[in-house]
Amino acid sequence: MNNPTKLRLFCLTCMPLIEFTDKGLYCEKGGFFIDPWRPVDKAVITHAHADHSRWGMKKYLAHHLSIPVMKLRLGKINTTGMNYGECKRVNGVQLSLHPAGHILGSAQVKVEYKGEIWVISGDYKLIDDKISTPFEPVKCHTLVTESTFGLPVYKWKPQAEVFAEMNQWWRENKEKGLASVILGYSLGKAQRILCSIDSSIGNILLHGAIHNSNLALRECGLQFPKTELITKTTEKEKYRGSLIIAPPSAFGSAWMNKLKPYKVATASGWMTIRGARRRRNVDRGFILSDHADWDELNQAVKLSKAERVYVTHGYTGIFSNWLREQGYDAHPVTTEYEGELSEIGEGASREKESE
Amino acid sequence: MKEFGILISALDGTTKTTEKISAMSSFLQKSSSEDKLWFVALLSGKRPKRPIKTTLLRQWAAEMAKLPLWLLEESYHVVGDLAETVALILPNATKSSDKSLDARMQDLQSLKELKEEEVKNYITTAWSEMNKNERFVFNKLITGGFRVGVSHKLIVKALAEHLGEEENIVSHRLMGDWSPLNTTFEKLLVEADEKENLSRPYPFYLAYPLENEPESLGEVNEWQFEYKWDGIRGQLIHRNGEIYIWSRGEELITERFPELEGLKEILPYDCVIDGEIMAFKDGKPLTFNHLQTRIGRKKISKKILTDSPVVLVAYDLLEEKGDDLRTTPMESRRIKLESVISQTKSPVLLISEKIEPRSWKEAAIIRESSREVLSEGLMLKRKTSNYKVGRRRGDWWKWKVDPMSIDAVMIYAMRGHGRRANLYSDYTFAVWKGEELVPFAKAYSGLTDKEMQAVDRFVKKNTLDRFGPVRSVKPELVFEIGFEGIAPSTRHKSGIALRFPRILRQRFDKKPDEANTLEDLNSILEAYIS
């Protein structure tokens, strides 16, 4: 590890490479923002989820696999696509994207200037979900990490076990003549379930929001098992015994009412906690997340070899205290990513769905 | 223990009564008598005393998980349940175990005789033999009750089905002073001889609040009217010359009310009286905070006896000379009750006076003024009604006065527990004292889930400071706080203690500076106690 005094001197003498501003993370040298939450000229986007990829930027730079979904959600926007590992130079600043393993096209943003390296990890997970390019650690001096599940109570089971439970649940419901509704983010979670569920059990039907995401993702070359879009003319008989994937916002809606009789499950990391599960009032909670759990967060920090860590959205205070005890120069940072809101596990329900 | 673990997660995983019953039936069918007895005891809150301090559990769990204690505490604040937190942070099991529930419970009982190091060894070994769900259940066996949304009624229903017995009989057998350590499933529920247990109380009959217009109840003269008193509902049992007093929570509280013990000498014959224990002096009831000084206190000092003496206000007669009267009509039970009371002639055994309004209109007027006699409203009992088991609609209604209310500003919020874990659901409210906001009440009920989520979002966005699980927030939201009673208090900064404070509604139409003042609260207090 470098001498910390030296590092501090360095900070006193010049502006940090990345600043935390009220519009978002800003690199003054390169003249760009990363995942800004207010309109700016140049935005580098880690991934296509609504809280990271927002309206109103003049130019968007993102991994080329993120762009179809961004366009689906944001309409006509000015975009530039990049590959993982490809490097762009602006004003002596080198900018590159590296796999974050969160959803298709998700990236960690690496910013380098005169040998100083920052990595903004966006949202990420370390395990391979078979859809997004698996996470690759990037060495840096300063890491900006999320902390959505930055508490030691959050530890995911192997995903194969979760999908085995899901298959079992679907089979049991099918035997009783019930529909099985699984609620999950329309971008990421829904496709992950689609690609790993045992599609030989029965028919799979989709909510419009998920169907639309899938259309955009097919453009990126993603393959899905056979599915059917639920429309006004879908026959009621079709629902019995089938698996239906819908966004969390569909829960309790008139749209859901038509699917009766059904059993409903939520697939989310928040389902770890009994209280959150009971509050959602679903029949079943599957613990399945596209975010890093406690062990993965710690591993990611370790692998980055960073000395300084800024902790954004999630349990920022707690996770940075913990990192400080482990010898890191760690600080919580306030951003407008979903962190605090999704802390209670209800953030997902506020996901804006484009029909 | 595996079967019990499966039962608990099944109960926890559904809100449907039929599924809960079927989970319990399947457990009862598969389990030994010993395990069945523990099931009944644990789910009806008859858990033996906690064998280990939770501080030790926290230490050992943190140590085993290789985490600092503060991080476990922070996790606990978020999860809202210690047993669950510990189950989640521990490393995965390395072995498995086939111990029965009974064997585990026996083990836990014997821990008291062991040295701390041995206890630690037992607990940590047990943890390493269990998956998360089993661990959660095991920790709950140590730390506290299972709140899995199973009412006593539901347990009774499942047991009645299992035993092929009537629910009322099962319910009665489960009453009273038994412990899983001194009985068996068969003795308690199968061979049970009702006469054998002299102290056994009857299940209480409870009223629902009146929801419709009282006129919908029919003729006014079909009903018996009494004041609704705010004391401790209790059952006085006089059998074979002994006396036992039970609270509605099925706690034996005889010793706390020595005033009433003397009744065993003067009651004319064996009987069981349902009534309200009230602080009472100079022919008048005292406010509830007098009674509060006597709750939870085993030793009653002379001062308390003089300052806050109690009486039993009798409502009903459930047993007379060994005969169960519960199936005779209210009207005739009342005549028998009056007779017992008048024969006893004791200043500590009063009768709940009948009120006889000639019309519903007159009843409404009496109800409106019930606070003047420190009552909470009226009780309506159908003259022909039997004494039923548990809370039932139809024959008994409570018709309470509207609560007193005040508009207050929310200043602190705390995360809740159980269903409200990780959600800011418990709030502290303040009123103005000049430029300052003085906290005067905490309330955590009255909002719907949706409203609570909106407030939760406000809290997270408007936090000023954090103290563990508590956040101070921008004083911006105004709520109307309702309460049933008010009393002076030296323990609160505001100098005021409220009875049953709760949120009536959010005042979206009011700005924080339009909330009430401490002076307003004081004038309510004066009007109330004068």
Residues of A in contact with B75 (CB under 8 A): 151-153
Task: Note whether B14 contacts A: Cβ–Cβ < 8 A.
Answer: yes
Q: How many CB pairs under 8 A join A and B?
A: 79
pLDDT at A6: 44
Contact A273 B68 (CB under 8 A): no
pLDDT at B174: 86
Residues of chain B with CATH 3.30.470.30: 205-400
Task: Note whether B89 contacts A: Cβ–Cβ < 8 A.
Answer: yes
Distance (Å) from the alpha carbon of B187 to chain A's nearest alpha carbon = 36
- Spatial neighbors of B157 by CB under 8 A, at least 6 apart, are B21, B167
Task: Note whether B468 contacts A: Cβ–Cβ < 8 A.
Answer: no
Lowest mean pLDDT among A295-299, B148-152, B219-223, B435-439: B148-152
- Please determine, for residue B297, whether its predicted confidence score (pLDDT) is greater than 80: no
CATH fold of B2-143 reads DNA ligase i, domain 1 (1.10.3260)
The SS3 assignment for A59 reads strand
Q: Fold identical between A7-153+290-354 and A159-286?
A: no
Q: Which residue(s) pair with B407 in the sheet?
A: B480
- Please determine, for residue B166, whether its predicted confidence score (pLDDT) is greater than 50: yes
pLDDT at A280: 76
Distance (Å) from the alpha carbon of A322 to chain B's nearest alpha carbon = 8
Q: Where does B404-529 sit in CATH, by number?
A: 2.40.50.140
The SS3 assignment for A253 reads coil
pLDDT in tens, B36-74: 999 999 988 787 788 889 999 999 999 999 999 999 999
Radius of gyration of chain B (CA): 26
- What average pLDDT does range B77-82 have in this prediction? 87
Q: What residue spans of B445-517 are helical by DSSP H?
A: 449-461
Task: Note whether A325 contacts B: Cβ–Cβ < 8 A.
Answer: yes
Chain mean pLDDT for chain B: 90
Contact B418 A278 (CB under 8 A): yes
Q: Which of A153, A169, A322 to mutate to test the interface with B (most CBs of B within 10 A)?
A: A153
d(CA B184, CA A263): 39
- What average pLDDT does range B126-147 have in this prediction? 88
Contact B81 A275 (CB under 8 A): yes
Domain ranges of chain A: 7-153+290-354, 159-286
pLDDT at B195: 56
Residues of A in contact with B457 (CB under 8 A): 341
Helix axis angle, B132-143 relative to B116-128, nearest 10°?
150
Query: For the purposes of burial, counting CB atoms within 10 Å of the CB of B150, is it exposed (0-12), middle (13-18) or buried (19 or more)?
Result: buried
pLDDT at A12: 47
Q: Which residue of A has its CA nearest to B85?
A: A153
pLDDT at A353: 29
Q: Which residue of A has its CA nearest to B458?
A: A341
Q: Which residue from A283, A325, A340 is facing B14, i.e. has the nearest CB?
A: A283
- What average pLDDT does range B190-212 have in this prediction? 82
Counting residues of chain A whose pLDDT is more than 70, the rounded percentage is 91
Backbone phi, psi, residue B20, to 5°: -65, -45
Q: Which residue from B89, B416, B422 is facing A273, i.e. has the nearest CB?
A: B422
Contact A275 B89 (CB under 8 A): no
- Please determine, for residue A340, whether its predicted confidence score (pLDDT) is greater than 70: no
Contact B67 A152 (CB under 8 A): yes
Q: Which residue from A155, A272, A281 is facing B15, i.e. has the nearest CB?
A: A281
pLDDT at B189: 87
pLDDT at B190: 85
pLDDT at A1: 41
Architecture of domain A159-286: 3-Layer(aba) Sandwich (3.40)
Nearest alpha-carbon partner for A55 in A64, A43, A65? A43
Distance (Å) from the alpha carbon of B501 to chain A's nearest alpha carbon = 24
Distance (Å) from the alpha carbon of A105 to chain B's nearest alpha carbon = 30
Q: Which residue from B89, B422, B457 is facing A152, i.e. has the nearest CB?
A: B89
Contact B418 A346 (CB under 8 A): no
Neighbouring C-alpha atoms within 13 Å toward the C-beta of B265 = 6
Tell me if the pTM is above 0.95.
Answer: no
pLDDT in tens, B268-281: 999 999 999 999 99
Task: Note whether A327 contacts B: Cβ–Cβ < 8 A.
Answer: no
Lowest mean pLDDT among A93-97, A117-121, B415-419, B464-468: B415-419
Task: Note whether B454 contacts A: Cβ–Cβ < 8 A.
Answer: no
Contact B79 A153 (CB under 8 A): yes
Per-residue confidence at A240, pLDDT binned at 50, 70, 90?
A: very high
Distance (Å) from the alpha carbon of B264 to chain A's nearest alpha carbon = 48
Distance (Å) from the alpha carbon of B122 to chain A's nearest alpha carbon = 23
Lowest mean pLDDT among A134-138, A250-254, B273-277, B306-310: A250-254
- What average pLDDT does range B482-494 have in this prediction? 85
Contact B421 A275 (CB under 8 A): yes
Task: Note whether B442 contacts A: Cβ–Cβ < 8 A.
Answer: no
Strand B323-324 vs strand B349-351: parallel, antiparallel, or unpaired? unpaired
Residues of A in contact with B423 (CB under 8 A): 275, 279, 344
pLDDT at A239: 95
Tokens of B245: 């007093």
Task: Note whether A158 contacts B: Cβ–Cβ < 8 A.
Answer: no
Residues of chain B with CATH 2.40.50.140: 404-529
- Please determine, for residue A339, whether its predicted confidence score (pLDDT) is greater than 70: no
pLDDT at A354: 27
- What average pLDDT does range B395-406 have in this prediction? 92
pLDDT in tens, A21-39: 999 999 999 999 999 999 9
Residues of B in contact with A279 (CB under 8 A): 419-421, 423, 449
pLDDT at B196: 60
Amino acid present at B299: K
Architecture of domain B205-400: 2-Layer Sandwich (3.30)
Backbone phi, psi, residue B83, to 5°: -55, -40
- What average pLDDT does range A171-186 have in this prediction? 94
- What average pLDDT does range B311-315 have in this prediction? 97
HEC-encoded secondary structure of A202-239? CCEEECHHHHHHHHHHHHCCCCCCCCEECCCCCCHHHH
Lowest mean pLDDT among A207-211, A239-243, B303-307, B396-400: B303-307
d(CA B94, CA B351): 64
- Please determine, for residue B499, whether its predicted confidence score (pLDDT) is greater than 50: yes
- What average pLDDT does range A256-276 have in this prediction? 90
pLDDT in tens, B457-487: 899 888 888 777 788 999 999 999 999 888 8
Nearest alpha-carbon partner for B38 in B227, B180, B211? B180
Q: In the CATH scheme, what is the homologous superfamily, with its name and number, of domain A7-153+290-354?
A: Ribonuclease Z/Hydroxyacylglutathione hydrolase-like (3.60.15.10)
Residues of B in contact with A341 (CB under 8 A): 457, 460
Task: Note whether B493 contacts A: Cβ–Cβ < 8 A.
Answer: no
Residues of B in contact with A322 (CB under 8 A): 68, 71
Distance (Å) from the alpha carbon of B73 to chain A's nearest alpha carbon = 11
- The distance from CA B60 to its chain's CA centroid, rounded to whole angstroms, is 32
Nearest alpha-carbon partner for A46 in A120, A147, A112? A120
- Spatial neighbors of A67 by CB under 8 A, at least 6 apart, are A60, A79, A81, A105
Query: For the purposes of burial, counting CB atoms within 10 Å of the CB of B433, is it exposed (0-12), middle (13-18) or buried (19 or more)?
Result: middle
Cβ contact A66:A48 at 8 Å: yes
Q: Which residue of A has its CA nearest to B79?
A: A273
- Please determine, for residue A342, whether its predicted confidence score (pLDDT) is greater than 50: no
Tokens of A97: 């994207």
- Please determine, for residue A311, whether its predicted confidence score (pLDDT) is greater than 90: yes
pLDDT at B20: 93
- Please determine, for residue B289, whether its predicted confidence score (pLDDT) is greater than 90: no
- Please determine, for residue B293, whether its predicted confidence score (pLDDT) is greater than 90: no
Contact A151 B78 (CB under 8 A): yes
Q: Which residue from B14, B65, B419 is facing A279, i.e. has the nearest CB?
A: B419
